[in-house]
Amino acid sequence: MNMSEKRNYITIMNFSGIYKYEKFYKDENVIWLDFSGLQGKNCYCDDSAEKLIRERIKNMSPQGLHFIDSGNYHYATKFWIDKIKEKFNLIVIDYHSDMQQPAFYSILSCGSWIAQCLENNTYIDKIILMGISKEQKKALTGKYKDRLICIDNEQIKKDDFLELQGLNRKYPVYISIDKDVLSRNILETNWSQGDMKLTELKSILHGIIPKQNIIGIDLCGECANEEGKLRAVQKNDEVNANLLRFLKNERNLCRMNCHTVQYKS
């Protein structure tokens, strides 16, 4: 199945339980994956949790739109893109680089998953980080300079995307979005946030999606599932609904650009 089909291909990965309190997906034909009772998954994903998650998505394609809960579970992107068995580019729109070295041996985490992808996934041609802070950009080492393109939040304000000209257009693209790039005036996530407007995020996506062959897109950045977060949940729900409408429209606009991917089940 690919994103150009009439039937929506939307997956909800409910890790924290937060999606039970949102309604943006209620009128959609979604695949609901509940991991709320799974141990060993919060920020760090231990081996047993990883095995179970991979097993649950074993027969699913990386194509489509995946909602993957808060930034604590951004590592789930790795499970989707590990299924892609052809050369591709990964665009990550995030306020953080997620390029830390694992704190506990080689355990997968929300802060290290991109570094691990660069280290282990030979199908990735380039990873493009968009929206990271200037401080995080400065902290990156040159180890992956040939495969990593960084466009910080200041460059984005200037529409300075010259680095994207270096992308090999013959390769399809997977897009991963963390809503922590957005200003706290728009919504609240459970991580430090940038100052991007929602209109700016959609403008960036509109500049990418129609011009690239898109494999799939995922979205994280929910607020913490805690008492007293009702308004925060509502704001996240509103942004999710807004982005879902937008991405469905973009999908239709770029119907001929949706890529049928080779993937491993």
Please compute the mean of the pLDDT values over residues 83-105 and round it to a whole number.
87
**Is residue 262 domain-resident?**
no
User: 0.85 exceeded by the pTM?
Assistant: yes
Query: Based on the structure, what is the number of domains in the chain?
Result: 1
**Is residue 265 domain-resident?**
no
**Is residue 137 domain-resident?**
yes
- Using one digit for the tens of pLDDT, what is the confidence trace for 115-159? 999 999 999 999 999 999 888 888 787 788 889 988 988 888 776
**Is residue 201 domain-resident?**
yes
Residue 44 belongs to domain spanning:
10-257
pLDDT of residue 9: 84
**Is residue 3 domain-resident?**
no
**Is residue 4 domain-resident?**
no
- Helices (H) and strands (E) counted in the chain, each on its own, are 7, 10
Residue whose pair of structure tokens reads 């095995």 in the numeric block: 51
CA atoms 176, 182, 187, 192: torsion sign:
positive
**Is residue 188 domain-resident?**
yes
**Is residue 120 domain-resident?**
yes
Domain containing 66 — which CATH number? 3.40.800.10
DSSP state of 109: E
Residue 5 pLDDT class (50, 70, 90 cuts) = very low
Residue 7 pLDDT class (50, 70, 90 cuts) = very low
CB 220 within 8 A of CB 12: no
Cα(first)–Cα(last) distance of the chain, in Å? 13
Long-range contacts of 239-245 (CB under 8 A, 24+ apart): 239/179, 239/182, 239/186, 239/187, 239/198, 240/22, 240/24, 240/25, 240/67, 241/23, 241/24, 242/198, 243/177, 243/198, 243/201, 243/202, 243/219, 244/10, 244/24, 244/25, 244/28, 244/65
Pairing of strands 108-109, 44-45: antiparallel
- Using one digit for the tens of pLDDT, what is the confidence trace for 48-92? 999 999 999 999 999 999 999 999 999 999 999 999 999 999 999
